[in-house]
Amino acid sequence: EMQLVESGGGLVQPGGSLRLSCAASGFTFSVWWMTWVRQAPGKGLEWVANIKHDGSEKYYVDSVKGRFTISRDNTRELLYLQMNSLRAEDTAVYYCATVGHIVGVTAVRFDSWGQGTLVTVSS
């Protein structure tokens, strides 16, 4: 059974940094594109970033470009999201998910999701 478990969330001050992790198990992690999707409190979903199965391609929503970095360790079956220069508007539950379908470089379907980790940016 596919399982994804996020960790690393917490309370951070504006301008601070945080690194999220997502531990994968139950499937061949190294062949899947992976993604991060976030959900602000009481709000809808927002795609954040994608990474190709081998880590050679990475794509971001405009609002996090230059601040967030997605990466992966296929040996340890881990997905990461390094978040720098955090803003209040980055406050959200961050989910990692497997990408079920890629169109060009766009992930258009998210098949399996973790339970999420809450990031709160506040002074």
Partner 1 sequence: QSALTQPASVSGSPGQSITISCTGTSSDVGAYDYFSWYQQYPGNAPKLMIYDVTNRPSGVSNRFSGSRSGNTASLTISGLQAEDEADYYCSSYTSNNNHVVFGGGTKLAVL
66 vs 104 by CB, closer to partner 1 = 104
15 vs 65 by CB, closer to partner 1 = 65
- Burial state string for 6-44 with b = 16 or more CB within 10 A and e = fewer than 16: bebbeebeeeeebebbbbbeebebeebbbbbbbeeeeee
* Smallest distance, partner 1 to C-beta of residue 15, A: 27
Binding site for partner 1 (CB under 8 A): 37, 43-47, 61-62, 95, 100-101, 103-111, 113-116
Contact (Cβ atoms closer than 8 angstroms) between residue 6 and residue 22 = yes
19 vs 43 by CB, closer to partner 1 = 43
